[in-house]
Amino acid sequence: MDNSARTGAEMECGLGKSSCNIMSNVGAENCESEGSKKSRVTGNGLKSNISSAADHVLEQPEGKGANTGNGASKESDVAAKGCSSAVPGSNANDPNCRRGRKVISPWRFQIGYKRSFSKAFCSNGGSLETPEYSAQGSSTQCTPGTRSTVRCYASPLSNVRVSAVRDFSSGKGEKETRAAYKKVKTEKDDDNQGMPKNGVALAREKVIRSLRDFRLIYKNLLNKLEDKSREGGADLQAYKIFRDRFLAQCNDERFVGNVPGIHVGDIFYARVELCIIGLHRPHRLGIDHIRKEDGTCIAVSIVAYALLSDVKDNFDALVYSGSRTATMNQKIEGTNLALKKSMDTKTPVRVIHGFTIHAKRNSQRKSILLYGGLYLVEKYWREKESEDRYVYMFRMRRMAGQKHIDIEATMKSEQAEPYDGVIMKDISQGLERIPISVLNSISDEHPMPYIYMSRLKYPPNYQPAPPAGCACVGGCSDSKLCACVVKNGGEIPFNDKGCIIAAKPLVYECGPSCKCPPTCHNRVGQKGIKFRLQVFKTKSMGWGVKTLNYIPSGSFVCEYIGEVLDDEEAQKRMTDEYLFAIGHNYYDESLWEGLSRSIPSLQNGPGKDEETGFAVDASKMGNFAKFINHSCTPNLYAQNVLYDHDDKSAPHIMFFACEDIPPGQELVYHYNYAIDQVHDENGNIKKKKCLCGSVECDGWLY
């Protein structure tokens, strides 16, 4: 069945026309469990017939393009013949020739040592409060020697004009700038000041991290100032807090040419952002310069404000009016002289285009700063501006050979506000403790419909024995009298803030058989989500999940929910994007090396239980965790947890934060696919490029 046909069938079900249409998609067991079906009226008044109290069919809003399905599946799949040759003894019918499954393992950077989340890495001691980003708070954290003062440039504003230059598009200009650009590249080795590749990636990561930290501080500050009519200068205040707090991240180095880590086409939202990353250091002046050893000054960057239409029409060629005071005639001195020197020495000048756009939804004005790349000053002249006032004009041309910038497309994505495009208020339709909204600010696509469940669905004949619970009527503590503490190797695995103390092959939470109260701090993952999370459309990896709250390291984030399938059934499934292999890896030395393994039930090696394999399939039924993407530098890790049964072959997969995660950050874990071990239904090795963009990316998802 193709995707569009499938969408049609599920919509019919969602509209309550036929409860059985969906069966062709979600498996016959739904039809069989008719007796347990509940009819639910969903948020928008549509009805869905569902197979358990915890299930929801997600409706497809009319006319929306869900038939494109999982955007991720369109990405770079490369199939290579070779199951039978590359993997010895394997072919499509060989049980070793498996399709893709993620496996549970701790965050890989923990391997080799015990990482205590709540003590060493939870900067907030597990507090759910976002760390305080205030000037006062941070100044006490810095010794005077490490603090620096904020540079405030109270100099007169430079006035900039961008206009079309009639004789400017000749081939000659382009040839000259191309040659000059080549020369710069050769002299500097590359666009990144001759840095090695890894250094470039690190520089990029530093830029991204700095901007993220600054924006968080700025946003918090603006929220606090809201009642006080948004005092001016909040950007500078935020900058001061940022510098106090993250001095090491500030780039005070002065560069001629491109600044490592900053790409042509990058967008910024405040002048101080340019200072932070070292693209243009003066906060107000339009021209930045450096002093050479011989004492002469050359200009290295300018900020050129203009109307959006002018920027669109004259991106490659602009006329910049020099720096001046409001009343005086301009002179060739100071930064104007520096710009002239750049012309004389053919020194490339970074140009940052500044303009204003209007957000689509509320027409609010938004200032944008766009890094346009390197330009050469070609010519300057004196021009009469009014009766008794003269200004200097500098004609600049973009050096050829640089990345093309599609201004229209850039503006379109910028016009969509970050919180524009919430297309579903709650994908869980009330099944989670906190609604999970869905945001798509880049297209009108909706997630592929699926049955929402907040609890695992076990195979019909699966009936594990209930666990022997503890008898701690008054609550559990680290005592040998608590059966659950003993099962955990002598300690409760969580601190009193509910943060996991260390990754372990297996964690036993207290469960329904225990006598302790629901407030027992050995009940964490079973209580469900406690942070505001959002499913969102990513630029290149289909859907993803991000947090809207600050998540302290070690916190429980969510469980991976889907249908629990035995291995045989899992092998039959055609889609494996959402398959999670469980219960297989307690004894894998490479995964748990150095981590606490003192779990009594694991001491005697694999038992019969663990030989039976299970997988959780979230393709047709599951929660929002199915949308969490992979990253080679994850901020979540998957933890085996047992609480409602004792069967180690089918543990719950619970995600915990392995670092403090700021609001707005995408949630990601390491899928741990074995490279070249994923096969399609014909036995061919399947390969997929990893698009996580991390500095330490391994290159391949599988």
Ligand X SMILES: C[S@@+](CC[C@H](N)C(=O)[O-])C[C@H]1O[C@@H](n2cnc3c(N)ncnc32)[C@H](O)[C@@H]1O
* Binding residues vs ligand X (CB under 6 A): 70-73, 75, 541-544, 577-578, 626-627, 629-631, 690-692, 701
Closer to ligand X at the Cβ: 355 or 671?
A: 671
The type of residue at 382 is R
Q: How many Å apart are CA 664 and CA 382, to the nearest integer?
A: 49
Q: How far is the CB of 75 from ligand X (least distance, A)?
A: 6
Long-range contacts of 193-196 (CB under 8 A, 24+ apart): 193/255, 193/257, 193/258, 193/259, 193/260, 195/260
Q: How many Å apart are CA 121 and CA 114, to the nearest integer?
A: 12
Q: How many Å apart are CA 413 and CA 539, to the nearest integer?
A: 11
Per-residue burial over 567-580, b if 16 or more Cβ lie within 10 Å, else e, is: beebbebeebbbbb
Q: How far is the CB of 505 from ligand X (least distance, A)?
A: 23
Q: How far is the CB of 628 from ligand X (least distance, A)?
A: 6
Q: How far is the CB of 541 from ligand X (least distance, A)?
A: 4
Closer to ligand X at the Cβ: 398 or 686?
A: 686
Largest CA-CA distance found in the chain, in angstroms, rounded: 95
CA 332 to chain centre: 47
DSSP string, 233-277: THHHHHHHHHHHH-GGG------SSPPTT--TT-EESSHHHHHHH
Closer to ligand X at the Cβ: 514 or 545?
A: 545
The type of residue at 154 is A
Q: How far is the CB of 438 from ligand X (least distance, A)?
A: 11
CA 132 to chain centre: 22
Closer to ligand X at the Cβ: 69 or 511?
A: 69
Closer to ligand X at the Cβ: 447 or 511?
A: 447
Closer to ligand X at the Cβ: 75 or 696?
A: 75
Q: How far is the CB of 64 from ligand X (least distance, A)?
A: 15
Q: How far is the CB of 657 from ligand X (least distance, A)?
A: 18
Closer to ligand X at the Cβ: 3 or 513?
A: 3
Strand 614-617 vs strand 579-582: parallel, antiparallel, or unpaired?
antiparallel
DSSP state for residue 313 in the 8-state scheme:
H
Q: How far is the CB of 58 from ligand X (least distance, A)?
A: 13
Q: How far is the CB of 671 from ligand X (least distance, A)?
A: 7
Q: How far is the CB of 72 from ligand X (least distance, A)?
A: 3
**Neighbouring-strand partners of residue 298:** 290
Closer to ligand X at the Cβ: 264 or 701?
A: 701
Q: At what angle do helices 197-225 and 234-245 cross, to 10 degrees?
A: 130
Closer to ligand X at the Cβ: 446 or 630?
A: 630
Closer to ligand X at the Cβ: 483 or 541?
A: 541
Q: How far is the CB of 101 from ligand X (least distance, A)?
A: 11
Closer to ligand X at the Cβ: 289 or 537?
A: 537
DSSP state for residue 478 in the 8-state scheme:
S
Cβ–Cβ < 8 Å for 487, 514: no
Closer to ligand X at the Cβ: 556 or 578?
A: 578
Residue nearest to ligand X (CB): 542
Cβ–Cβ < 8 Å for 682, 92: yes
Q: How far is the CB of 537 from ligand X (least distance, A)?
A: 8
Q: How many Å apart are CA 590 and CA 452, to the nearest integer?
A: 35
Closer to ligand X at the Cβ: 73 or 139?
A: 73
Comparing CA positions, the residue from 283, 287, 385 lying closest to residue 328 is 385
Comparing CA positions, the residue from 151, 403, 181 lying closest to residue 254 is 151
Q: How many Å apart are CA 352 and CA 274, to the nearest integer?
A: 9
Closer to ligand X at the Cβ: 71 or 257?
A: 71
Give backbone dihedrals phi and psi of 666, rounded to 5 degrees, phi first: -70, 140
Q: How far is the CB of 625 from ligand X (least distance, A)?
A: 8
Closer to ligand X at the Cβ: 650 or 690?
A: 690
Give backbone dihedrals phi and psi of 205, rounded to 5 degrees, phi first: -60, -35
**Neighbouring-strand partners of residue 288:** 301
Rg (CA), the chain: 30
DSSP string, 501-553: SB--S-EE---TT--S-TT-TT--GGG---S-EEEEE-SSSSEEEEESS-B-T
Note the helical H segments in 577-701.
Answer: 589-592, 608-611
Indicate the helix (H) or strand (E) that contains 609: helix 608-611
Note the helical H segments in 88-196.
Answer: 135-139, 171-188
- Cα-Cα-Cα-Cα torsion 90, 94, 97, 103, nearest 10 degrees, comes to -140
Q: How many Å apart are CA 686 and CA 575, to the nearest integer?
A: 13
Count how many residues are written for the chain. 702
Comparing CA positions, the residue from 549, 524, 615 lying closest to residue 576 is 615
Closer to ligand X at the Cβ: 71 or 583?
A: 71
DSSP string, 401-451: TSPP--HHHHHHHHHS-TT--EEES-TTTT-SSS--EEE-SS-S--PPP-E
Cβ–Cβ < 8 Å for 502, 106: no
**Neighbouring-strand partners of residue 591:** none
Closer to ligand X at the Cβ: 485 or 692?
A: 692
Q: How far is the CB of 631 from ligand X (least distance, A)?
A: 6
